[in-house]
Amino acid sequence: MLASLIGVLGDFDLAEDAVAEAFAVAAQRWPADGVPDSPVGWLVTTARRKAIDRLRRDRVLAGKLRLLEATERGAGQRPAGDFPDERLELVFLCCHPALATEAQVALTLRAVAGLQTEQIARAFLVPAETMKRRLTRAKVKIKAAGLPFRVPPERMLPERLGAALAVLYLIFNEGYAQPPATATETETDLAAVAIRLGRVLAALLPDEPEVLGLLALMLLHDSRRAARFRGDDLVLLPDQDRSLWNWEQLLAGSALATHVAGTSGPYALQANIAALQTEDWIDWPRIAALYRELAAVTGSPVVQLNGAVAVAEAEGPEAALAIVDALDLDGYQYWHSTRGELLRRLGRAQEARDAYRRALDLAASTPERRYLQRRIDETG
């Protein structure tokens, strides 16, 4: 609904205020007059009228006259109650690369996912005032810089879609780093929010393999979230209690991953890797091959590092260590912890402990620090 209004009005704040006013009118009238046949259509129409009233009051602001004209044109063209679904335009506006990443994330959560500013602030551990300012700044920039409210043309679409998916995945990972939400928190659990947004995007862009790939990846990861934590400790995949996995979600993710298998986008590849890793008998050579493909697509040494873990299973720790040692990732925690693990398996305990200690020095999160300390204590 907000998307539809921002589309018509071309103004974020105006649309938000108008929606709030429309809800207030509804709260007064509906109990007495009954709920209209098309409640959403009624709200959009009412909000649009409220916005026009407000624009008339603000007429002195010359810039807004243009909006008024556009609004009246828009109102004339569209029969009441028949409003277009413009959530896609809204997603691309919120994830426009001319906005800072943190602003893209905040705007997407506010405008597309409908979270309250206070909820977003809590999720990112910043004061509500800070989040409010961040959103305001972003909205001012959208208007002043003329960021377009539309689905990008074909030639820009791959890049813009990549940016939008990156925002979704960022939101997801913010939630995924925490233990699963309790029932009362699910509304604002960022992993759940990202999956919800992923479903919306998948419904709007059903032919984009990367959209489906990302949704598959998030479903697969999230399905194992309850098994990923024991108290505050992190439990890695091979040690996870499979009865804690959300199998319904896992199967949905696997089916989607299969659907996009064979496409070469990074999310589709990662989803297929994640799907293979949940099987009873894990096809490590195939996983290692997918990682090679992913490394070629992304050019990322971190992907090569993850691929080395699959190589360790498929061909043994020696082959994996050769790959790892060739990577220039000295400042990266997981490079050291992976080396530690491979060295431990090769029986080089002293070197393994040293590597784990380097990883511990770099580790930020408490569960990870505890895991590494346990590893150091066990390697003897």
Applying CB under 8 A, which residues contact other proteins? 63, 66, 96, 98, 144-148, 152, 156
| 159 or 232: CB nearest other proteins | 159
Minimum distance, C-beta of residue 144 to other proteins, in the bound complex (Å): 5
* DSSP-based three-state secondary structure for 89: helix
Minimum distance, C-beta of residue 151 to other proteins, in the bound complex (Å): 11
| 92 or 172: CB nearest other proteins | 92
Minimum distance, C-beta of residue 276 to other proteins, in the bound complex (Å): 39
The four Cα atoms 287, 293, 295, 299 give a dihedral, to 10 degrees, of -170
Minimum distance, C-beta of residue 54 to other proteins, in the bound complex (Å): 18
Name the burial class of residue 143, with classes exposed (0-12), middle (13-18) and buried (19+) by CB atoms within 10 angstroms of its CB: middle
Q: Positive or negative, the Cα torsion across 83, 88, 92, 95?
A: positive
Q: Where are the beta strands (DSSP E) in 211-365?
A: 229-230, 233-234
First to last CA, the chain: 61
SS3 percent helix, strand, coil of the chain, rounded to 5, is 70, 0, 25
| 49 or 143: CB nearest other proteins | 143
**Contact (Cβ atoms closer than 8 angstroms) between residue 175 and residue 62:** no
Minimum distance, C-beta of residue 107 to other proteins, in the bound complex (Å): 15
Minimum distance, C-beta of residue 51 to other proteins, in the bound complex (Å): 18
| 156 or 349: CB nearest other proteins | 156
Residue 99 DSSP code: S
| 101 or 186: CB nearest other proteins | 101
Q: Which of 233, 75, 100 is nearest to 167 (CA)?
A: 100
Minimum distance, C-beta of residue 147 to other proteins, in the bound complex (Å): 5
Taking the CB of residue 301, how many other CB atoms lie within 10 A of it?
A: 16
Q: How far is CA 42 from CA 36, 38, 209, 270, 281, in A?
A: 7, 6, 36, 43, 55
